[in-house]
Structure 1
Amino acid sequence: MSDKFLKDTYNLNSAQETHDHYQKWAASYDDEVGEHGYVTPDRVAAALKSFVSDADVPVLDYGCGTGLSGLALRKAGFRVIDGMDPTPKMLEGAAAKGVYRNLINFEVTDPNPIEAEAYSTITCIGVIGVGAAPPETFDLLMNALPRGGYLAFSFNDHTLADCTYTGRLNDWLDMGHARLLFREYGPHLPGVDMKSDVYVVEKK
């Protein structure tokens, strides 16, 4: 199998390039990341479940892609999962997984695609980072949460190396607007020796 989609991911320079890339990758995405042992969805879902015990709390899976994150959330015990993604072809894959209550397409140019306080629990797994969603996506998600809400997300090695991403998280923590509940560095795509930090934060 060609690795060209994965390799090209970290060289995208605009929202339109990113959108087009994932549209083309959708059909082979699950196979390619699966070949490399993609484990971050399971790690994020398990971390979130340790803080959110109610299986019926609605979870927004932001940037759900083809639904691998939804499968991980379902496996962790969450029963009410809505997915959002800007890429129609990726959403087709998510729909086929059969784990989502609702699937929502949105434009990447929409500054506020999530209704404020509509969800108390949001995941963003493998989404915010180099070649994917920009750093300000973190602010978008935190602003959408009510006080006491949870955001569970990940930063891979490429993203951890860029302080504009980690800086967004640190700003929220340093200003006392969020509390870090969980952080763990571990495997992301073992097949290409890439790791990720998994986080759970609570909005204050």
Structure 2
Amino acid sequence: MEMPDPTPLERVYAATTPGELADAYAAWAASYDRETAELGYCLPFLIPGWLARHVPAGAGPVLDAGCGTGLTGPCLTALGYDPVEGLDMSPDMLAIAESRGVYAALKRGTLGEALPWPDDHFAAFVSAGVFTAGHAPAAGLHELVRITRPGGFAVFTVRDVLVDSAGFRATFDDLSATGRWRAVEESPPYRAFAIAEPEVLVQSFVFAVA
């Protein structure tokens, strides 16, 4: 029996290299917003709430790291954050993000590699759904902390099953031990998709950058 073609989400989960992941998102970009809405994907709309608990509007520029098609950007600007800048590895996703008209700057880059901003540039960064299976490594947090100013905040989600197994907890501890940040908040696991994928759970984390 002929197997059905993988869904865009399955292609993303199956990617094993940055190139495969970029190709998967390029193929998905045009239908990403509609299809993730049908699945009940809620992280882009929830993560601004964690930011608002700790960072006042007007604190300075905010980075949407792994912004994809820019679903989070309008939520951030609606809450008064300005300017908002975005980072993503997919030029196809960035083109859609740009069309939303809310990002002051959008840059192509890959978490886990050097990022195209100077030290201490942002008042905070947010990252929703990016630290998950086959995506950005825990090591990418080091560069995000570098470009966040002292007194700023790191606000991001991690797939719950990866917190310990993929080195995130060890990276958290290393950044704390070296005085780069301190833990502020850690949520219990919760669903990333309100309708589909009930087994996909994430945690939200907030750290204050030192």
> Does the pair score TM above 0.5?
yes
Report if aligned partners of 2:29, 2:93 keep a CA contact under 8 Å in 1: yes
Report if aligned partners of 1:126, 1:155 keep a CA contact under 8 Å in 2: yes
Moved more, 10-19 or 104-113: 104-113
Q: CA RMSD in A?
A: 2.2
Query: What per-residue deviation string (whole Å, max 9, x for no partner) do you get for residues 74-113 of structure 1?
Result: 2433232111112110011101222211222236785233
Instruction: Report the CA distance between 1:154 and its aligned residue.
Output: 0.5
Q: Separation in 2 of the partners of 1:183 and 1:109?
A: 22
User: Which residue is 1:69 aligned to?
Assistant: 72
Report if aligned partners of 1:5, 1:25 keep a CA contact under 8 Å in 2: yes
User: What code does the residue aligned with 1:197 have?
Assistant: Q
User: Which residue is 1:198 aligned to?
Assistant: 204
Q: Give the match's secondary structure for 2:206.
A: strand
Instruction: Report the CA distance between 1:161 and its aligned residue.
Output: 6.1
2:44 is the counterpart of 1:38: no
Distance 1:188 1:75, change over 3 A: farther
For residues 12-23 of structure 1, the aligned pairs below 5 Å read 12-23=15-26
Identity value in percent: 28
User: Which residue is 2:139 aligned to?
Assistant: 136
User: Which residue is 2:171 aligned to?
Assistant: 168
User: Which residue is 1:50 aligned to?
Assistant: 53
Q: Which runs of 5+ in 2 are unaligned?
A: none
Distance 1:93 1:132, change over 3 A: same
User: What code does the residue aligned with 2:191 have?
Assistant: P
2:91 is the counterpart of 1:88: yes
User: What code does the residue aligned with 1:201 have?
Assistant: F
Q: How many residues align?
A: 203
Moved more, 157-166 or 187-196: 157-166
Distance 1:26 1:48, change over 3 A: same
Q: Which runs of 5+ in 1 are unaligned?
A: none
State the TM-score, normalizing by the size of structure 1: 0.88
Report if aligned partners of 1:128, 1:137 keep a CA contact under 8 Å in 2: no
Q: Separation in 2 of the partners of 1:132 and 1:141?
A: 15
Instruction: Report the CA distance between 1:10 and its aligned residue.
Output: 2.1
Moved more, 7-16 or 171-180: 171-180
User: Which residue is 1:188 aligned to?
Assistant: 192
Q: Give the match's secondary structure for 2:31.
A: helix
Report if aligned partners of 2:61, 2:121 keep a CA contact under 8 Å in 1: no
Query: What per-residue deviation string (whole Å, max 9, x for no partner) do you get for residues 107-135 of structure 1?
Result: 67852332211112111221123221122
- Return the structure number with greater helix share: 1
State the TM-score, normalizing by the size of structure 2: 0.86
